[in-house]
Chain A
Amino acid sequence: MKSRHWKALQKAYLCIIFSFFYLPIAVMAAFSFNQSKSRTVFTGFTFKWYLDLFRNQRILDALWLSLGLALAAATVATVVGTMAAIGINAMRKTPRAIINNISYLPVVNPEIITGVSLMLLFVVGKQGLTALNGWLEQSGLGLRVPEDIFGLPTLLIAHVTFCLPYVIFNVSPKLRQMDIRLYEAALDLGCNPRQAFFKVVLPEIMPAVLSAFLISLTYSIDDFIISYFSSGNMQTLPISIYSMTRRKVSPEVYALSTVMFLVILSIILFTNAMDSRQYKKEQKGGGRG
């Protein structure tokens, strides 16, 4: 008897927690279809806010900027970070520990600190470039370096910077797990180091590299705080969402949340389906891999 009550209690508790998670999202979704701007009374069904959203040039620009930035940052971070993981792995213990500790800083530091510190660096860098231009002008070489770095360059640098540690900490364990003899065998069998790397090592660590790339992609798209301090006048998607939420009533934000929720949900369901298909395949194929 006690066990049945216990089970019911468990279920009730989980229900409460999950409603806490999902009710706010559900309410937003419901009111994204509301005809009036009221957030308490449902006056009628409409797709108006969705149409407004897809016609909102600022949001669309921000979306493309965010996607492009995320792709660029994730690519750079994955390439540089994977190389770094291999290089760090080849180092002796002490330098490795020092590098790992410094790499951890952006992970453990509050985001606002990372954002503020990068902003200061860019401010100092900008002053340096201005000084350099003054000097170049005096020397009469007719050269100029770009001064106004705030915007795309600083955003890209910031995003690569906070993605890099995640790449390194994703790829490093996989490298350590890998059997070094595979690589040596490839060399013995006549591969040069480059071939051995691309034909043996890279396929072996590919899952980790890919997941590092995806993590970087999501972090970059989702980041608000660090971008906020280094974006200048550029608006990434989270930044334009922020400026939208500053206005009190905007059902467009509801529409946007609902769209984003559905996109994320379908991505997760899709990857899950792929995973379980892969899993079933492996089971059938007699536990390969």
Chain B
Amino acid sequence: MLKNKSLAYPYLVWMAIFIAAPLLIVVYFAFTTAEGKFTLNNLTGIAPYTAVFARSLLLAGAATIICLVMAYPVSYFLSRMRANKQHIMLMLVMLPMWMNFLLRTYAWMTLLEKNGIINKILGFFGIGPLQMINTAGAVILGMVYNYLPYMILPLYTAMVKIDDSLIEAAQDLGAGTWRTLTRVLIPMSAPGIATGITMVFVPSVSTFIISRMLGGGGNMLIGDLIELQFLGNSLNYNVGSAMSLLLMVVVLLCMSLTNTMGDEDVEGVI
């Protein structure tokens, strides 16, 4: 029974129909008209939306960098704590992740509002009221808040493997804090950095909820465009498929970039 390949057959059928076929259908729709004739118009039709694509890349990129900068010290501190304390801290990092992301985003929606609590507090100090909701900054904030744990966890996993003695050795041999960081810690945690970047960037660049809830109408992202083509008012499966295809290419590019980054450094360490 353990050598029985046929056990995988139900899954193979499932995989062919529900994983492979849908993606092929996306490719087919991307290159055909509504009547099923070959065309490139769907792809070239995306050109007017270049700004939206650029905005998605920009906001997701900014969110990723902010997450990396915020998460790096957290992961490092966590990885140097006593084992039982580490356990509790990790739980605290993961707990918000278990809450539905719509609710987490909704929390910020009400916090950032024009007469929300943050503006109220700022007003107490004589500042504001500031326009915070429906801005690009609010969208970035939403991405950071939702996906920060996805950065902390892989970084932590990479850093917990770094032996304390290596850091001490670097310092004994005369490396300052900065050099220890750039020559020892960062290269050794590169696989974690690579994983973290992908895990934050991919959901950020493809989101449509965060931009809709926190960005108002003025901060459309690729995800919003695609959603509009499939369920919204500009219903057009072919153009939507072309956009999805482009998004997949963006994601693949990002992943191959981070992959080479992680690999190179692993080799360097070994």
Contact = CB atoms under 8 A, between A and B. Distances in A.
B95 A268 contact: yes
Interface string B110-134: 1101011100100000000000000
A47 B77 CA distance: 40
A207 interface: no
Contact of B3 (A90, A157, A161): A90
Interface residues of B, number: 76
B2 A102 contact: no
A164 B11 CA distance: 8
Interface string B227-241: 100110000010011
B196 interface: no
B1 A197 contact: yes
Interface in A138-183: 157, 160-161, 164, 168, 180, 183
Interface string A197-216: 10001000000000000000
B42 to A, nearest CB: 13
B31 to A, nearest CB: 13
Contacts, number: 216
Interface string A228-254: 110000000110011001000000010
Contact of A112 (B5, B14, B73, B226): B226
B253 interface: no
Nearest to B88: A272
A197 B2 contact: yes
Contacts of B203: 110-111
B185 to A, nearest CB: 15
B56 to A, nearest CB: 11
B219 interface: no
B12 A24 contact: no
Contact of A22 (B15, B96, B111, B205): B96
Contact of A105 (B8, B10, B19, B206): B19
Contacts of B6: 87
B34 interface: no
Interface in A85-138: 86-91, 99, 102-103, 105-106, 108-114, 116-121, 123-124
A244 to B, nearest CB: 9
A24 B98 contact: no
B102 A245 contact: yes
A90 B102 contact: no
A102 B20 contact: yes
Contacts of A237: 100
B224 to A, nearest CB: 10
B66 to A, nearest CB: 11
Interface in B198-235: 202-203, 205-209, 213, 223, 226-227, 230-231
B269 interface: no
B8 A91 contact: yes
Q: Chain B CB within 10 Å — which of A110, A228, A241 has the most?
A: A110
A17 interface: yes
A245 B19 contact: no
Contacts of A120: 22, 25-26, 29, 237, 241
Given A88-B11, A113-B248, A225-B209, 4 more contacts: A24-B111, A102-B20, A116-B230, A229-B230
26 contacts: A10-B77, A27-B117, A84-B8, A84-B12, A91-B5, A99-B8, A99-B12, A106-B19, A109-B248, A110-B206, A112-B206, A112-B207, A113-B248, A116-B230, A116-B241, A117-B22, A120-B22, A121-B21, A121-B25, A193-B2, A218-B98, A222-B101, A229-B231, A245-B106, A257-B106, A268-B98
